[in-house]
A and B are shown apart, each in its own frame.
Chain A
Amino acid sequence: MSWLFQPFAYEFMQRGMLASMIVGILCAVMGTYVVLGGMAFLGDALAHAILPGIAIAYLLHASLLAGALVAAIVIAFLIGLFSRQGTVKEDTAIGILFAAALSLGIALISSIKTYAVDLSHILFGNVLGVSSTDLWLTAGLGLLVLLTVILLYKPFLVISFDPVLAATMHLPADLLRNLMLVLLALTVVVSLQTVGVGLAAAMLVTPAATAYLLTRRLASMMFLSAALGALSSIIGLYLSFYLNIVSGSAIVLTATGFFLIAFLFNSRQGILRGRINT
């Protein structure tokens, strides 16, 4: 069993594992709303759009998390602004901002000397470089997002499932939707360190989509999604340690493996299930 504990001889591995698990849970929980609300593209866009914020923070030697957070919130509101005018469709607005922000981010980063290394860390995460300050920040922001989701479970359920009921009950739907965007932005920012901007969207969508195939209630979908997210992070990090591959990719590929298993064998529309039973 020594292979199980060997990685944790290193303190940076302990921190990396904790950070990955927090991110796995957080992405998976927010991901249920992303999947149910058809916001997969928005999650992807947010993840890429924070790149310029990180680059500017890096150039100014400021906190990368703070830079990413500011960028994510700016982008979330810009998308809302562009599409609310009605002149541009929301997915078009997202597409334009997504590409522009990504380009701006890479342009800024390319002006840095250690360009290649820094870019790959930002794009794919650097879970082994998680400092204890990063870990505390990740845990704090993660707790904030999770508590908000738990506290606002009923209002979020109603605005996602039935906007008309939300209106008859006088829920502040616009405010709640903007809050959901901010929580999504926070989640993406937190996942930056472990899976990077390139793969954050996958962690938002994949565990939640897996859980959706296996459950029929929102609360159980959230719990299962969170469990799958955490498990993917743990298994992925072991794979990364022993196969010597990038941790973000290993985590996302593990989550994808769970999705494929659920897709093939779930009781509702699994492709292979009928053949096994007969």
Chain B
Amino acid sequence: MSHTPHRLEVQNVSVGYGDKTVLHDLTFNVPHGARVAVVGPNGAGKSTLFKALVGLLPLQDGKIYIHGLPLNAHKDCVAYVPQREEVDWRFPVTVRDVVMMGRYDHQGWFTRSSRLDKQIVERSLLQMDIGSFSGHSISDLSGGQQQRVFLARALAQEPHILLMDEPFSGVDVTTQDATLKLLDDLRGADVTAMISTHDLNLAASKFDLMLLLNHYLIAFGKPGEVLKQENLARAFGRQLMILPDGTAVVDDCCPPVGSAE
């Protein structure tokens, strides 16, 4: 056991909306700098887990610790990259405005941006390769560029934990590569990253740890330990097919009607 507390500890957490519980009795620890893929079928509670981790949903039961302290004890510690559908793209803000929002907590809510804040924003814009759009309205961008704006904002926040909800679905190859490169850079800075994805191949090849969810925690560990047939069967149920050669195929292309995650 390490003497420093885990970066993120989730203990017996149950969370949901109103009386309805979506996630039951989750317990896991994520070490410093680890890269975790959160996988599971549609409606398994992946987005719910992220909302609990940013403090947007009150816990029905259990505790979440970051650096050994309760969730709300930290400021500017967790950054969240939303799904594109969650953002109001018609809001009158420029690319630079959005990235600067990532600095608000550092610079104080009633003061002007310092030179340092501006430098960090410019650096984040360049790193995500959107410097040439910085004065554009966010509604003028393509889907991939829009995602990179929010990645740049997460960079500017200088978080210890980065959460990304489905950053790989429905984006172009450039954005996917930019996202993966960002993850590599963040590992250098010892940032813990949790990313939900449908892409089990990507999860197995690019991530240190996998968290398999379906309302309960089904498995958590190295991809090789998690991606076992019995785990996948428990998570995906009838969406899982086993081919004659033993390959497991998850049919996750068509979300069931009315699934809300």
Is B238 an interface residue when CB atoms closer than 8 A count as contact? no
Size band of the B side of the interface?
Answer: 20 to 34
Q: Which of B24-32, B73-81, B207-215, B251-259 contacts A (4 or more CB under 8 A)?
A: B73-81
Is B189 an interface residue when CB atoms closer than 8 A count as contact? no
Q: Which residues of B are found within 8 Å of A157, using beta-carbon distances?
A: 93, 101
Is A161 an interface residue when CB atoms closer than 8 A count as contact? yes
Interchain CA distance A164-B56 in the complex, whole Å: 7
Residue of A nearest to B71 (CB): A170
Interchain CA distance A151-B97 in the complex, whole Å: 18
Instruction: Give 1 or 0 for each of A142-170: 1 = CB within 8 Å of chain B CB.
Output: 00000000011011011011111101111
Q: Which residues of B are found within 8 Å of A163, using beta-carbon distances?
A: 56
Q: Which residues of B are found within 8 Å of A151, using beta-carbon distances?
A: 110
Size band of the A side of the interface?
Answer: 20 to 34
Inter-subunit contact A167/B55 (CB<8 Å) = yes
A235 CB to nearest chain B CB (Å): 25
B192 CB to nearest chain A CB (Å): 15
Q: Which of A158, A162, A168, A212 has the most CB of B within 10 A?
A: A168
Inter-subunit contact A169/B104 (CB<8 Å) = yes
A144 CB to nearest chain B CB (Å): 17
Inter-subunit contact B109/A154 (CB<8 Å) = yes
Q: Which residues of B are found within 8 Å of A164, using beta-carbon distances?
A: 51, 54, 56, 80, 82, 86
A270 CB to nearest chain B CB (Å): 16
Q: Which residues of B are found within 8 Å of A212, using beta-carbon distances?
A: 92
Q: Which of B54, B75, B76 has the most CB of A within 10 A?
A: B54
Instruction: Give 1 or 0 for each of A185-216: 1 = CB within 8 Å of chain B CB.
Output: 00000000000000000000000000010011
Residue ranges of A at the interface with B (Cβ–Cβ < 8 Å): 36, 86, 151-152, 154-155, 157-158, 160-165, 167-170, 212, 215-218, 220-221
